[in-house]
Every structure is written in C-alpha cells, then in structure tokens.
Amino acid sequence: MQLQIGDAAPEFSRPDHTGTLVSTADFAGKHFVIYFYPKAFPPGCTTQSCDFRDNYAAFQQGGFEILGVSPDPVDRLEAFREEHGLPFPLLSDTDHSMAEAFGAWGMKTNYGKEYEGLIRSTFTIDPDGRIAHTWYNVRAQGHVGRVESEVVG
C-alpha cells in the first residue's frame, strides 16, 4: 500500500554500509529524504545515487539529510558508496521489510516479464515523523532535480 502525504512514516532500524544500525529515532526532529533504489552499481541506480551526491550540499543547506536504501548486503553498499564517493548513509534492506513498509516493494514489469521487486521511490519525512512528499515508480534520470526543486526550492 502506498503512503500518503501526512501519514506517519514507518519505523525502521536497518544496518548501514558499515553495519551500524540506523533507525527512525536517529532522525527525530529532522527533515530527511529516503530514496529506494533496486541495486547498487547498475547504471540507473548509479545515476540516481550520484545525482543525490551531486546535490547533497543543496539538500543539506535546505535542512535535509539523505538516506539511500536497497536490498543489497552491507559489503556491497560499502563498495558502492566508496566507488562513487557518496557522502550519505546507504541502508541494507535484504529482507525488503523497510521497502514493503514504505510501499516501495511490489509487482513490476520489465521487458514484458512480471516479477516482484523494489519500486524506485523517494520520500521526504518532516521533523514530526510524517510523510511530506512521495514519488513512486520514478525514473532515475532527472528525478533528483525534481525532488530538490520541490523540497529545497
């Protein structure tokens, strides 16, 4: 089920790229962006993550932290983060429970095949822990610019 603006953001506690648990409580009272991407290293996921990296200063100036989430294991996330110089945490959601809670896991179609997987999605969460923006089933190219213009201005 997709989240709506004003909904309470789902609670989470997932290991980051270093294996350190990161949870909702770490962001209490803060604005933050969570983006879900299918897998570290493919071109679309790399584009999306590097676009967040390239716009990270603007998001921070606007008062936003950024979290990337994928089903990859911790070691793959660390390699991805290091290779691309990503300055924000990447969370490992190997059982896809966090993606499911955010409505970012479900049926997809790719080259005529239907399968269950991660739906590229982005959310902003306000300091009260409520969903402020949602973008479901987005294309990587140009998406971060749209998010930045809507939330940071």
- 52-91, pLDDT tens digit by residue? 999 999 999 999 999 999 999 999 999 999 999 999 999 9
Residue 153 scores a pLDDT above 80:
no
The CATH superfamily assigned to 29-151 is Glutaredoxin (3.40.30.10)
Residue 20 scores a pLDDT above 90:
yes
Q: Which of 33, 45, 69, 74 is catalytic?
A: 45
| C-alpha–C-alpha distance, residues 11 and 25, integer Å | 8
- 31-57, pLDDT tens digit by residue? 999 999 999 998 889 999 999 999 999
Decide: 69 and 62 in contact? Cβ < 8 Å. no
Annotation says 45 is catalytic: yes
The per-residue pLDDT for 8 is 98
**What is the strand order of the sheet 121-125 is part of?**
90-92, 64-70, 31-36, 121-125, 131-135
User: Domain residues of the chain, as ranges?
Assistant: 29-151
Strand partners, 8: 130
